[in-house]
A and B are shown apart, each in its own frame.
Chain A
Amino acid sequence: MTRYEAPYGRDIAVVAFAQTCHRRRSDELSEVEMLMPVLHQVLEATGLRTGDIGFTCSGSSDYLAGRAFSFTMALDGVGAWPPISESHVEMDGAWALYEAWVKLLTGQADTALVYAYGKSSPGEVRDVLTRQLDPYYAAPLWPDSVALAALQAQALIDAGEAGEPELAGVAARSRRAAAANPHAQLQGEVPRGEYHVRPLRVSDCPPVGDGAAAVILAAGERARELCGRPAWIRGMDHRIEAHALGVRDLTRSPSTRLAAERAGAFRRPVDTAELHAPFTSQEIVLRRSLDLDDRVRVNPSGGALAANPVMAAGLIRIGEAAARIHRGESDRALAHATSGPCLQQNLVAVLEGEADAR
């Protein structure tokens, strides 16, 4: 196999990934107490210490647990003294990973620690997420995350793209797959339940819970030293839809499509896709936007329907895809993360393992 030509002059890989066992509540742990073990796991996996890391970037939201500047408290778990090069995004950790990837591409750092955490249990996440919406026309109505996803699901049903049986099929397949994932919050058979917001039933919606995840990125030879089979990031891009829901065709995700094109996802088929689809209907939208057919293993981890720690669930998709490559279970994987209502903003990364490193 010919060696891949790095499009930006530098190869960057995911070399380690760790996540918590996601749970409905974690009252006995502060955010940093919940996060610290996964930071230690990725450092131990690579043999690195905080002082060896060139750049640290995190993703979280203070609104989830109602704690101002919680990300500064979380930094206690990193050990940020002597002062480290550090950044934070008030977004899912997948976007923190994007920032770290760009930092490494510039050559300013050779390694990066990326982490994300979210504790939804202290608040009502359906209410909390309304505060991210347009403050003039949408937020005053308090349309919660399930309601907005349900509007999208009904649009999909009206368009003849899916029915409730297809949605139930996505739910069942995801939770079945999660039975092999010790970190998942929901596993195995989950009853379809009542309508949460019709047409979405309880089983079409993600569990609410707390969790954290961490990833280490490394460039070039450093990645080969730190990991037996690095998961090379062949491309990554993120795009956003129009702000107003009523302007969009909710049955399509053109931003996902464009991000995937820009990330090079269509150059060769992928064998695995980790899609950040918190609602069953969103997986159907994403599959179509990405031309994923039955030859692609979609969400072997169970996806966000099995565990959805808000702000970390997107980073976990990249981590799960990378971990499959590390283990030799995938050679080329697509990872997707989303943010905002009805798949408003989407990130796509393409990861590969080298054949001779299996």
Chain B
Amino acid sequence: MPEVLRAPLVVEFPFTRSLGPVQSAFLTGLRERTVLGVRTGDGRVLVPPVEYDPVTAEELRELVEVHATGTVTTWAWNPAPRSQQPLARPFAWVLVRLDGADTALLHVLDAPGPDAVRTGMRVRVRWAAERTGAITDIACFEPYGSEPAPLPRAHNGSFPRTAAGPAAEAVTGIVAPARLDYTYAPGRAQSDHLAALAERRIVGERCPSCRKIYVPPRGACPTCGVATGEQVEVGPRGTVTTFCIVNIKAKNLDIEVPYVYAHIALDGADLALHGRIGGIPYDEVRMGLRVEPVWHDGARHPDHYRPTGEPDADYDTYKELL
């Protein structure tokens, strides 16, 4: 068995999300250095506020302003912050019940060490210097000895820039970037396939039950549900079974359009793979065209397939592979 292949894989996606009216007011408030909560039918104040009562499912709309000071209800000391967490130095995760609220907000507390943190300690919001309307507009909490200031005040959810001026524009959505880093390993069958490709051989695997040869192999026969293992070299020549003409240029892909992308049944394979067809005008590609791979130095895969010059294959020879 060849060595197990590994490659870095980054999955990165910005989620763009719209906000309901309560979330919008809350995040607009954070941008304006104000913490809003929402009052439930039984008079409790939820911070962070939600659109619907978590117990009764009643729609909630009555906003109140709570204080930027509060009390830690539980905590956990994080000695080794992870890269995307709010603080780069060791910190405490905290649930904080802000003065005027009945529920607690999850955030982080900037403290010198675990001995400086306890449940019941008083803290206050440290605002981020640049605020955009996000939970991270609260940079963190910091220790702050003060008496609780419990009463929330009514708030209409709008934030005038000056006493008489128009309201600041409300935050109506968030963009939440996310990045996850992986080390991808393709497993046994695909590692073997890729190792053979490095020697410019195309190797499939045969199902011990139905005898079909799969290329590229994924380690299992999808029809029989058993492991494939017997390796069989296929191609390198093959037949175009079907194709499409690509007219839209892909980002970061240095191929002129239009070009042809085809299903190719390599000689000896029982499953068509796909590849680009080159070396022939795009409008002359046809079903049954005989092709062969073109390799470029240093590449793990054929760059494209080109016509071999042989007569076209009879339809009957590839109709089962369409």
Q: Which residues of A contact B (CB under 8 A)?
A: 27-33, 36, 39-40, 50, 63, 65-67, 73, 75-81, 122-124, 126-128, 131, 135-144, 147-148, 150-155, 158, 194-195, 197-200, 242-247, 250
Asked whether B86 is an interface residue with its Cβ less than 8 Å from the other chain, the reply is yes
Asked whether B95 is an interface residue with its Cβ less than 8 Å from the other chain, the reply is yes
Asked whether B9 is an interface residue with its Cβ less than 8 Å from the other chain, the reply is yes
Assuming A150-B76, A154-B76, what are 20 further A-B pairs, CB within 8 angstroms?
A30-B188, A36-B225, A36-B226, A66-B9, A67-B184, A76-B218, A76-B222, A122-B182, A122-B184, A127-B84, A135-B17, A135-B176, A136-B27, A139-B178, A141-B136, A142-B86, A148-B93, A154-B74, A195-B77, A246-B106
7 cross-chain CB contacts under 8 A: A66-B182, A123-B180, A136-B174, A137-B48, A140-B135, A150-B77, A154-B74
| A200 contacts across to B, CB distance below 8 A | 76
Which positions 79-114 of chain B face chain A at CB distance < 8 Å?
Answer: 79, 82, 84-86, 93-95, 97, 103-108, 114
Smallest CB separation, A178 vs chain B (Å): 26
A27→B191 CA distance, assembly (Å):
10
Instruction: Decide: A245 near B185, CB < 8 A? Known: A28-B191, A147-B78, A150-B76.
Output: no
A138→B48 CA distance, assembly (Å):
10
Pick the residue among A50, A147, A154, A246 that contacts B104 (CB under 8 A): A246
Pick the residue among A31, A122, A135, A199 that contacts B76 (CB under 8 A): A199
Whether B85 and A28, one on each chain, are in contact in the complex, defined by CB atoms closer than 8 angstroms, is: no
Whether A50 and B225, one on each chain, are in contact in the complex, defined by CB atoms closer than 8 angstroms, is: yes
Instruction: Decide: A28 near B187, CB < 8 A? Known: A147-B93, A197-B93.
Output: yes
7 closest A-B pairs (Cβ-Cβ)?
Answer: A79-B225, A30-B187, A246-B104, A150-B76, A242-B54, A198-B77, A27-B185
Instruction: Decide: A76 near B119, CB < 8 A? Known: A144-B82, A155-B74.
Output: no
| B184 contacts across to A, CB distance below 8 A | 65-67, 122
Pick the residue among A36, A124, A135, A152 that contacts B15 (CB under 8 A): A135
Whether A33 and B220, one on each chain, are in contact in the complex, defined by CB atoms closer than 8 angstroms, is: yes
| B224 contacts across to A, CB distance below 8 A | 79
Pick the residue among A66, A138, A147, A148 that contacts B11 (CB under 8 A): A66
Interface residues of B toward A: which range? 35 or more
Which positions 3-50 of chain B face chain A at CB distance < 8 Å?
Answer: 4, 6, 9, 11, 15, 17, 19, 23, 27, 46-48, 50
Whether B174 and A143, one on each chain, are in contact in the complex, defined by CB atoms closer than 8 angstroms, is: no
Asked whether B289 is an interface residue with its Cβ less than 8 Å from the other chain, the reply is no
Which positions 191-206 of chain B face chain A at CB distance < 8 Å?
Answer: 191
Whether A244 and B48, one on each chain, are in contact in the complex, defined by CB atoms closer than 8 angstroms, is: yes
Instruction: Decide: A141 near B135, CB < 8 A? Known: A30-B186, A150-B93.
Output: yes
| B50 contacts across to A, CB distance below 8 A | 243-244
| A246 contacts across to B, CB distance below 8 A | 47-48, 73, 95, 97, 103-106
| A137 contacts across to B, CB distance below 8 A | 48, 105-106, 135
| A247 contacts across to B, CB distance below 8 A | 46, 54, 103
Which positions 223-243 of chain B face chain A at CB distance < 8 Å?
Answer: 223-227
Interface 1/0 per residue, B266-280 and A, CB below 8 Å? 000000000000000
Instruction: Decide: A139 near B85, CB < 8 A? Known: A29-B187, A147-B93, A246-B104.
Output: no
Whether B180 and A147, one on each chain, are in contact in the complex, defined by CB atoms closer than 8 angstroms, is: no
Instruction: Decide: A198 near B85, CB < 8 A? Known: A131-B180, A243-B54.
Output: no
Whether B6 and A36, one on each chain, are in contact in the complex, defined by CB atoms closer than 8 angstroms, is: no
A150→B108 CA distance, assembly (Å):
13
Asked whether B55 is an interface residue with its Cβ less than 8 Å from the other chain, the reply is yes
Pick the residue among A33, A66, A138 that contacts B189 (CB under 8 A): A33
Q: Which residues of B contact A (CB under 8 A)?
A: 1, 4, 6, 9, 11, 15, 17, 19, 23, 27, 46-48, 50, 54-55, 73-79, 82, 84-86, 93-95, 97, 103-108, 114, 119, 134-136, 174, 176, 178, 180-191, 218-227
Q: Which residue of A lies closest to B190 (CB)?
A: A30
A50→B280 CA distance, assembly (Å):
45
| A33 contacts across to B, CB distance below 8 A | 187-189, 219-220, 227
Smallest CB separation, B275 vs chain A (Å): 20
Pick the residue among B55, B135, B185 that contacts A122 (CB under 8 A): B185
A142→B107 CA distance, assembly (Å):
10
| A244 contacts across to B, CB distance below 8 A | 46, 48, 50, 54, 103
| A136 contacts across to B, CB distance below 8 A | 17, 19, 23, 27, 48, 135, 174
A77→B93 CA distance, assembly (Å):
42
| B1 contacts across to A, CB distance below 8 A | 28
A81→B178 CA distance, assembly (Å):
37
Whether A242 and B55, one on each chain, are in contact in the complex, defined by CB atoms closer than 8 angstroms, is: yes
Q: Which residue of B lies closest to A154 (CB)?
A: B74
| B220 contacts across to A, CB distance below 8 A | 32-33, 36, 76-77
Pick the residue among A67, A126, A151 that contacts B95 (CB under 8 A): A151
A200→B182 CA distance, assembly (Å):
26
Smallest CB separation, B119 vs chain A (Å): 5
Whether A127 and B74, one on each chain, are in contact in the complex, defined by CB atoms closer than 8 angstroms, is: no
Q: Which residue of A lies closest to B178 (CB)?
A: A131
Pick the residue among A29, A140, A147, A194 that contacts B136 (CB under 8 A): A140
A71→B74 CA distance, assembly (Å):
38
Smallest CB separation, B183 vs chain A (Å): 6
Pick the residue among B54, B106, B119 that contacts A138 (CB under 8 A): B106
| B75 contacts across to A, CB distance below 8 A | 151, 154
Instruction: Decide: A141 near B108, CB < 8 A? Known: A28-B187, A147-B78.
Output: yes
Whether B176 and A139, one on each chain, are in contact in the complex, defined by CB atoms closer than 8 angstroms, is: yes
| A75 contacts across to B, CB distance below 8 A | 222
Whether A198 and B103, one on each chain, are in contact in the complex, defined by CB atoms closer than 8 angstroms, is: no
